[in-house]
Amino acid sequence: MYSMSRKIKWASIRIFYYLNIAMTILTGGLFIYIMAPYTSYMFFNDLAFWKYLKYYPGLIRQLYRIIAFWIFDPNYRGMYAQPLTSPPSIGPDRNKIKLSAEWQKEENDCGNCINCCIKIKCPLIDHDRNLCLSYNTVYWRYFSCGCYPVSQQQIDYYDCPKWEMEGKRLEKKLDPRYISNADTQKISN
Ligand code: SF4
Ligand code: SF4
């Protein structure tokens, strides 16, 4: 398994981020500007913060929006419980999650779908190209985006057409709500 030193490193990165979030909340957003190079590095992989200042108000609004989700939406709150010592991710755990049988594109391609990003009104969507401005950054890898999805609950919440849990297909076959047309014909004959 993972060494203690790596787990300490991953936990430290997350704890420092959460401290920044707490300070940003307490200062009404001001702290994100005080820590501008850090913010820029976390979200855009670039210390040249002046290039990204235009996104900072959106990040502050998003912070309060996520807090509101946590408080008022039990479905959202129940989906996120990331251990501090878990490794950063660049994709879902393929032992548990697989591509949906209906998905026609490559694994690393979401086509034109941005359902999950739109659902939470993420300010890091590039709407012109349907891309993530924060792809593969520290924020992306250490928090919810890199490991998405981790559960069927998340897949359903974001109406994701690409992923499904291992075993879901079998579950569908056994569930009368998912009887295929062929099966329906057999039953009616
Ligand atoms: S993948 Fe990118 S655009 Fe989508 S929610 Fe995550 S950070 Fe935002
Ligand atoms: S909902 Fe699924 S297919 Fe759509 S952008 Fe998110 S991960 Fe990709």
| Terminal-residue alpha carbon distance, the chain | 55
- Helix 36-44 vs helix 4-26: crossing angle, to nearest 10: 120
Delimit the domains of the chain by residue range: 4-172
Atom of ligand 1 nearest to the CA of 139: 7
Residues lining ligand 1, CB < 6 A?
A: 117, 122, 124-125, 132, 134, 140, 145
Residue 87: per-residue pLDDT: 95
- Chunked mean pLDDT (size 10), the chain, 189 residues: 94 97 96 98 98 97 93 84 89 92 90 91 92 96 93 92 80 48 35
Q: Which of 90, 98, 163 to mutate to test the pocket of ligand 2 (most atoms within 8 A of CB)?
A: 163
Residue 168: per-residue pLDDT: 65
Buried/exposed code over 88-122 (b: 16+ C-beta within 10 A; e: otherwise): bbeebeeeebbeeeebeeeeeebeebbebbeeeeb
Locus of tokens 């890199």 = 146
